Amino acid sequence: MEVINRYITIKHHVDGAPQDSDFELKSSPLSLSLEPGSDEVIVKNLYVSIDPYQLNRMKSYSSSQESSAYAVAITPGEDIDAYGVGKVVASGNPKFDKGDIVSGLLKWGEFTVVKPGGMLNKLDPMGFPLSYHAGILAFSGLTAYAGLFEICKPKKGEKVFVSAALGSVGNLVGQFAKVFGCYVVGCAGSKEKVALLKEKLGFDDAFNYREETDLKSTLRRYFPDGIDIYFDNVGGDMQEAAVSNMNINGRIAVCGVISEYTDREKRAAPSMIDVVYKRIKIQGFLAGDYLNLFGDFLSTTCDHLRTGKIQPLEDISEGVESIPSALINLFRGQNIGKKIIKIAEQ
Amino acid sequence: MEVINRYITIKHHVDGAPQDSDFELKSSPLSLSLEPGSDEVIVKNLYVSIDPYQLNRMKSYSSSQESSAYAVAITPGEDIDAYGVGKVVASGNPKFDKGDIVSGLLKWGEFTVVKPGGMLNKLDPMGFPLSYHAGILAFSGLTAYAGLFEICKPKKGEKVFVSAALGSVGNLVGQFAKVFGCYVVGCAGSKEKVALLKEKLGFDDAFNYREETDLKSTLRRYFPDGIDIYFDNVGGDMQEAAVSNMNINGRIAVCGVISEYTDREKRAAPSMIDVVYKRIKIQGFLAGDYLNLFGDFLSTTCDHLRTGKIQPLEDISEGVESIPSALINLFRGQNIGKKIIKIAEQ
């Protein structure tokens, strides 16, 4: 059987904020039956993840492209890897059978042909919606968990600040920290988001950074006793303001720098005098280095989801054609929680 | 017996680069016999240490003043604490006898009256010149040792970059790293210093940063395989250039930021994209937090000094009146090695 596989590509490298005209929806015929002897697996994509780091892969050059196996440069015109959940429609690999639900590195498209050695695992949904396994129970969740618990090693009662607190990672960092017993303040870019943080996600406090003119004073107001942990998703001014409000032995986990992705000039220049005298640690990290924690992360998070201690926060669009605008809108702060594309019904 | 005690004060807060006119040599009579029942110790100062952090204490405001017991603000007109070595001339404290050689927190002056609870210890010179115990065998040495081994945890063969490599701390970091089995490159501010680094201290390579226009390319030239460890004494442009040349899992220990002490605008704005994707750690630290390592540090360093594996590098001026120019010249890069003032003969 042959289908038309539609998938997203970039027309050219994307060096600024992404726009519709940077993308193209391509289609090509795909046979759903494998050649005899093939060891490939053909997956019908169900949910794919939309993440800011993809923009770094689209640039003509970014140091990030050399530094992680997941962040290699994207060639214009070619299909684009992305984490997701799918269903096996044909398998030449004895580990997978037709009908298996799987997760792994799929494509921003309707189907993925996974070659031997590709990242693909059978998925036990454990009673949760499949979309959870593309976000909260996958790399977004692991990023939050590893960054908070491994990099920042919180103590109960410590003061935690989270930027981009309604983003896929930030909302979970805040929720994990609350359940753990920290005092948590988040910032986001609208009144509605601030309300969500406080009312739905249980943050102790939250503010709209767009309404603030002096972030240093703002943070002093929200943290009169200083910040112990800053989970940094944005870099730039906010990092500078956080450093100046950190306590002694403060820890900053940096898992993303949205402010730098679209504008290389907007770099943080935190006071190194503060960093020295307050013995601050600024640590960049990638969740892929913490796969050893995946088991702990998964059982903890599933428990919290079942008991309602953690709220899932998903922002789902439908159809492969909605991928470009989903990515574009990430950089406009228009997502609320984990951005996922539902490609097809199971 | 009464003497005239001469000591250095600041006339007013010092917010830029320090100048002669900021300082005053004061004198006041001091009785060298203690009142009956006094528990003070009077110390004749022999060697006192000159360190860049003192400038932060002189500012009208620096966050550093709140962050460490050793870095509290200096009040204009009052005497100034500094680490040093001296000899007890009178003691009301049963732990000390007249004639004891001691080290601890003394004053930038000829005598120190140490109150109970003051930082003071009997010193066993272990056959080394007393001046060593104000520098290489004291906090400068511990800073190098703790920063390199505890913060950066080197592996043999790793590539280490040291800025201000002829400074009190930098020269030891480089020497410790060489003895440990790392590849070490240092930078300094003159041809003569570069020669010293390579010829006397055994650095694998060194360069004069004043001759370089593009530090990023310079570091790429000296580290074609990237930097694993950067020991940062200066902040600013050099930190940015180092971050862009770091390898994955690179570590930056920041023990000082001379570039920021005299000019608040010269801050480093390293690429946070590099920090994230290369999982770089930037860690500020103060040696005072690592007193638990002092025993190890001391025995290791003494061994290396005795076997000649490490060269002591001291820059000694004489007389209390030379203190202001010694501090001023630190910020002009005019010291070679540990800056110490010899106040008096034993």
| Residue in B63, B67, B282 closest to A282 by CB | B282
pLDDT at res. A264: 61
CB A269 to CB B269 under 8 A? Answer: yes
pLDDT in tens, chain A (346 residues): 899 999 999 999 999 999 999 999 999 999 999 999 999 999 999 999 999 999 999 999 888 888 777 789 999 999 999 999 999 999 999 999 999 999 999 999 999 999 999 999 999 999 999 999 999 999 999 999 999 999 999 999 999 999 999 999 999 999 999 999 999 999 999 999 999 999 999 999 999 999 999 999 999 999 999 999 999 999 999 999 999 999 999 999 999 888 777 776 678 889 999 999 999 999 999 999 999 999 999 999 999 999 999 999 999 999 999 999 999 999 998 999 999 999 999 8
Q: Does A283 contact chain B (CB < 8 Å)? A: yes
Beta strands in chain B (DSSP E): 2-10, 23-31, 41-49, 81-91, 101-107, 111-114, 120-122, 159-162, 183-188, 205-208, 227-232, 246-254, 281-284, 314-318, 338-342
CA B105 to chain centre: 14
At B214, list the tokens.
């593009």
Interface A-B, measured as beta-carbon pairs within 8 A, has a size of 127
Are residues A271 and B239, on separate chains, in Cβ contact within 8 Å? Answer: no
User: Would an 8 Å CB–CB cutoff place B64 in contact with chain A?
Assistant: yes
CB < 8 Å from B in window 216-275 of A: 232, 235, 239, 244, 248, 254-257, 260-261, 267-275
Q: Which amino acid is it at A294? A: F
Choose the mutation target among A272, A275, A278, A285 for the interface with B, i.e. most B CBs under 10 Å: A272
Q: How far does A94 lie from chain B, in Å, by closest CA?
A: 35
Cβ neighbours, 10 Å, residue A319: 13
- Contact check, Cβ <8 Å, B261/A248: no
* Residue carrying the six token digits 């097809």: A344
Beta-carbon separation of A286 and B276 below 8 A: yes
CA distances in angstroms from A146 to A9, A260, A299, A312, B277, listed in the order given: 31, 23, 14, 18, 15
**Domains of chain B: residue spans and CATH:** 2-136+313-342 (3.90.180.10), 139-288 (3.40.50.720)
Percent of chain B at pLDDT above 90?
90
The torsion angles phi and psi of A74, rounded to 5 degrees, stand at -95, 130
- Measured distance CA(A189)–CA(A100) in Å, rounded: 40
- For residue B278, what is the DSSP state? T
- Residue ranges of B 284-323 with Cβ closer than 8 A to chain A: 284-286, 289
Q: What is the mean pLDDT of residues B167-179?
A: 97
Tell whether the model's pLDDT for residue B46 goes beyond 70: yes
Q: Are A174 and A150 in contact (CB under 8 A)?
A: no
What burial class does residue B6 get, using C-beta atoms within 10 Å of its C-beta: 0-12 exposed, 13-18 middle, 19+ buried?
middle
B64 and A277 in contact by Cβ < 8 A?
yes
Closest residue of chain B to A262, computed from CA coordinates: B273
CA A96 – CA A291 distance, rounded (Å): 22
* Amino acid B123: pLDDT: 97
At B90, give phi and psi (nearest 5°): -160, 145
Nearest CA distance, B146 vs chain A (angstrom): 13
Tokens representing residue A10 in the block: 């970039």
- The pLDDT value recorded for residue B261 is 77
Q: What ipTM describes this predicted complex?
A: 0.93
pLDDT in tens, B124-148: 999 999 999 999 999 999 999 999 9
Nearest residue, CB atoms, B272 vs list A257, A279, A281 = A257
List, for residues B235-251, the tens digit of each pLDDT value.
999 999 999 999 999 99
Instruction: Look at B283 and A281 and tell me if their CB atoms are within 8 Å.
Output: yes
Total length of chain A: 346
Q: CB-based contact (8 Å) between B276 and chain A?
A: yes
CA distance B231 to chain A (A): 12
**Position B264 confidence tier, pLDDT thresholds 50, 70, 90:** low
Kindly state whether B280 is in contact with chain A, defined as any CB-CB distance less than 8 angstroms.
Answer: yes
DSSP B217-273: HHHHHH-TT-EEEEEESS-HHHHHHHHHTEEEEEEEEES--HHHHS-TT------HH
Best interface-test mutation with A: which of B55, B152, B272 has the largest number of A CBs within 10 A? B272
Better pLDDT: B183 or A273: B183
Q: Please judge whether B272 and A285 are an interchain contact, meaning their C-beta atoms are less than 8 angstroms apart.
A: no
Q: Which of A55, A64, A231, A276 to mutate to test the interface with B (most CBs of B within 10 A)?
A: A276
CA distance A249 to chain B (A): 9
Report the 10 Å Cβ neighbour count for B210: 11
Contact B293, B142 (CB under 8 A): yes
| Residues 147-166 (A) with a CB less than 8 A from some CB of B | none
Q: Do A248 and B272 touch (CB under 8 A)?
A: no
Confidence of residue B115 (pLDDT cuts 50, 70, 90): very high
The mean of the pLDDT values for chain B is: 95
Mutate which: B59, B244, B273, B282, vs A, most A CBs within 10 A: B273
> CB A293: neighbour CB atoms within 10 A?
16
Mean pLDDT of B77-87: 97
Q: Measured between CB atoms, which of A56, A254, A275 is closest to B254?
A: A275
